[in-house]
A and B are shown apart, each in its own frame.
Chain A
Amino acid sequence: MANTSDTILTVENMSVEFPTLSGVTTAVRDVSFTVGREKIGIIGESGSGKSTTGRAIMRLQPPQAIVKANRMQFEDIDLLTASEEEMRSIRGRRIAMILQDPKYSLNPVMTVGEQISETVILHERATSQEARSRTLAMLERVNIRDPERVFDLYPHEVSGGMGQRIMISMMLIAQPSLIIADEPTSALDVTVRQQVLSILDDLVVERNIGLIFISHDLNLVRSFCDRVIIMYAGRVVETIAAADLDQAQHPYTRGLLNALPSLDHPKDRLEVLRRDPAWLEN
């Protein structure tokens, strides 16, 4: 990879707050990170703010949420000041998102092919003829054997693994430079997961783009990503190269690693994570 170092996204001190009846809940607090042309994993338990972070980057947070940051720069765009119109031209075309369950994220009353074509028709004003041929090529690229047949299928007619590959092809047809994948394989079986990940891996390398991979699966992130951000209660507690995860310093990361049953280092009792209130400070 030639230009691994150049930064696609910079986030400095981002916070996401939700006003509620009983005061303001801070879901994400002072999160800073950069994404280059690499696979970066965000790990955390449910409620740690990892998905909220992903959504805030695309400005897809619920309307009542308040996003604050010192800086949110995506390539040449300042995400903090970009108008809604500018955002519409970024979403799907320059930053794409893959969600957990294709069953709920695909439109059930449109054929798969129409949905994929829609992206290029809207963003690049491609003719339907051209969109169709690009869609078919894209479906083939994600290892779908019979793209002509799959083009006319409805989402309920495809399996989970195929649905997720369709999602990936939909995200990549517009050639984004950043992909945010929110638990893309959690709903899939182990064998299918491997296929989907290797397609995603190949495409990220081939196109030299950035990937934010949100997951709760430590083993998966460790083996798939280049760098890992560990989140706890809305804060980034540690950022570490995936290969060095075993040498993580923060007690929370260590606790998570020790709580994991392992085939390679079996132990009789698993360590139970002790949460230290001090982690919530700083």
Chain B
Amino acid sequence: MSMIKAHHLAASYGHGDTALKVVKDVSFEVQKGETFGLVGESGCGKSTILGALAGRNKQWTGSIEIDGETIGQKRTRAQLAKQQLVFQDPFGSIHPRHTIGRTLLEPLEIHGKDRRQERIEKVLTDVGLPLNFRYRYPHQLSGGQRQRVAIARALILEPKILLLDEPTSALDVSIQAEILNLLKDLRQREQLTYILVSHDLAVVAHLCDRVAMMQSGGFVEIATRQQLLENTVEHAYTRILMDGSRGYVSERRNNKGEALPV
């Protein structure tokens, strides 16, 4: 069963003559429990797609269907709770002068949920944080702990979909591994569907089943995890991105010692 269906989705910013079309006609489907990756350079429209799916960006055309429901420009609370966002920089996305408990309480208040204390305790346990962390402030946590809080805040409304916008790019390698493992566990335990935006193809191949390569607002290729690992992707742009996540490719070394023209 497909959890997300986007058909001829386009999104723009601005009005009238200065309107800028950022996403140009993309169509994709994500199955329940699947993780779908979006990869591309800055400004190619990855985050804008997430924004449109999350209901953050209302200037979109085409059709979006989430969990069997067709989504309009205006959504109900229940529709909004179904998908939640996790952002790149955990320090910038958590209120610096609210305790973690207060931050986690906010979505519950907005959505009028009951059993609030119980839910906060459950979600902290789910993301592997001690319960007394609810009395701490963000600056008292490390980067990895803060990203766990951001994931907890997204999970507290019991969404079916997590929209992950570069969730590990601001973290060190060792912390990134912890968060990626946590995301894998949560996906299995809570049967979540993910859309992961990243520029690191190794991270994408680790977590995603399928991945769409984006260039200036459109998809150039949708590759499976298998294709990435076997290096059988077709589009030239995908190959550039793949080489990039392996590290630096010296042109000089490729030319077998011949110096480059200066």
- Which residues of chain A have a CB within 8 Å of any CB of chain B? 45-46, 141, 189-191, 193-194, 197-198, 201-202, 205-206, 216-224, 255-256, 259-264, 266, 268-273
Chain B residue at smallest Cβ distance from A266: B229
Task: Report yes or no: A45 in contact with B174, Cβ–Cβ below 8 A.
Answer: yes
Q: Please give the distance in Å from B160's CB to the nearest CB on chain A.
A: 24
Q: Please give the distance in Å from B249's CB to the nearest CB on chain A.
A: 7
Task: Report yes or no: B41 in contact with A259, Cβ–Cβ below 8 A.
Answer: no
Q: Please give the distance in Å from B210's CB to the nearest CB on chain A.
A: 15
CB contact between A202 and one of B176, B203, B241, B252 (< 8 Å): that residue: B252
Q: Given A46-B172, A190-B41, A270-B206, A263–B240 Cβ distance below 8 Å?
A: no
Task: Report yes or no: B247 in contact with A259, Cβ–Cβ below 8 A.
Answer: no
Q: Please give the distance in Å from A209's CB to the nearest CB on chain B.
A: 16
For the complex with contacts A194-B244, A201-B250, A259-B176, 11 further pairs of A-B residues with Cβ separation under 8 Å are A190-B240, A190-B241, A190-B244, A194-B249, A221-B247, A223-B248, A259-B173, A263-B231, A268-B184, A272-B174, A272-B177
Chain A residue at smallest Cβ distance from B244: A190
Once bound together, how far apart are the Cα atoms of A190 and B245, in whole Å? 7
Q: Please give the distance in Å from B75's CB to the nearest CB on chain A.
A: 33
Once bound together, how far apart are the Cα atoms of A197 and B262, in whole Å? 15
Task: Report yes or no: B173 in contact with A194, Cβ–Cβ below 8 A.
Answer: no
Once bound together, how far apart are the Cα atoms of A202 and B259, in whole Å? 9
Q: 10 tightest CB-CB pairs across the interface, nearest first? A: A190-B244, A223-B247, A273-B174, A261-B206, A259-B177, A270-B177, A219-B247, A224-B248, A45-B172, A189-B41
Q: Please give the distance in Å from B141's CB to the nearest CB on chain A.
A: 14
**Any A CB within 8 A of the CB of B201:** yes
A-B contact pairs, 21 of them (CB 8 A): A46-B143, A46-B172, A189-B41, A189-B199, A190-B241, A198-B251, A202-B252, A216-B173, A218-B173, A219-B202, A219-B246, A222-B247, A223-B248, A223-B249, A259-B176, A261-B203, A263-B231, A263-B245, A270-B181, A270-B206, A272-B177
Q: Assign chain B's interface to a size class.
A: 35 or more
Task: Report yes or no: A269 in contact with B181, Cβ–Cβ below 8 A.
Answer: yes
Once bound together, how far apart are the Cα atoms of A203 and B129, in whole Å? 48
**Any A CB within 8 A of the CB of B26:** no
* Residue from the set A220, A266, A270, A271 with the largest chain B CB neighbour count within 10 Å: A270
Task: Report yes or no: A263 in contact with B228, Cβ–Cβ below 8 A.
Answer: yes
Chain A residue at smallest Cβ distance from B207: A261
* Residue from the set B231, B241, B245 with the largest chain A CB neighbour count within 10 Å: B245
Once bound together, how far apart are the Cα atoms of A261 and B42, in whole Å? 22
Return chain A residues, CB-CB under 8 Å to B203. Answer: 261
Return chain A residues, CB-CB under 8 Å to B178. Answer: 272
Return chain B residues, CB-CB under 8 Å to A221. Answer: 247
Chain B residue at smallest Cβ distance from A44: B172
Return chain A residues, CB-CB under 8 Å to B173. Answer: 45, 216, 218, 256, 259-260
Task: Report yes or no: A271 in contact with B177, Cβ–Cβ below 8 A.
Answer: yes
Tell me if B's interface is mostly helix, strand, loop or mixed: helix
Once bound together, how far apart are the Cα atoms of A198 and B202, in whole Å? 22
Once bound together, how far apart are the Cα atoms of A244 and B200, in whole Å? 24
Once bound together, how far apart are the Cα atoms of A140 and B42, in whole Å? 26
Once bound together, how far apart are the Cα atoms of A202 and B41, in whole Å? 25
Chain B residue at smallest Cβ distance from A223: B247
**Any A CB within 8 A of the CB of B80:** no
**Any A CB within 8 A of the CB of B71:** no
CB contact between A266 and one of B42, B200, B206, B262 (< 8 Å): that residue: B206
Return chain A residues, CB-CB under 8 Å to B252. Answer: 201-202, 205
Task: Report yes or no: A263 in contact with B201, Cβ–Cβ below 8 A.
Answer: yes
Once bound together, how far apart are the Cα atoms of A264 and B180, in whole Å? 18
Return chain B residues, CB-CB under 8 Å to A273. Answer: 174, 177
**Any A CB within 8 A of the CB of B220:** no
Once bound together, how far apart are the Cα atoms of A141 and B173, in whole Å? 35
Return chain A residues, CB-CB under 8 Å to B251. Answer: 198
Once bound together, how far apart are the Cα atoms of A24 and B178, in whole Å? 31
* Residue from the set B199, B247, B249 with the largest chain A CB neighbour count within 10 Å: B247
**Any A CB within 8 A of the CB of B260:** yes
Once bound together, how far apart are the Cα atoms of A102 and B249, in whole Å? 23
**Any A CB within 8 A of the CB of B108:** no
Return chain A residues, CB-CB under 8 Å to B205. Answer: 261, 263, 266
Once bound together, how far apart are the Cα atoms of A201 and B260, in whole Å? 11
**Any A CB within 8 A of the CB of B242:** yes
**Any A CB within 8 A of the CB of B243:** yes
Chain B residue at smallest Cβ distance from A196: B248
CB contact between A206 and one of B206, B228, B229, B262 (< 8 Å): that residue: B262
Task: Find residues 179-197 in chain B having any chain A CB closer than 8 Å to their own CB.
Answer: 180-181, 184
Chain B residue at smallest Cβ distance from A202: B260
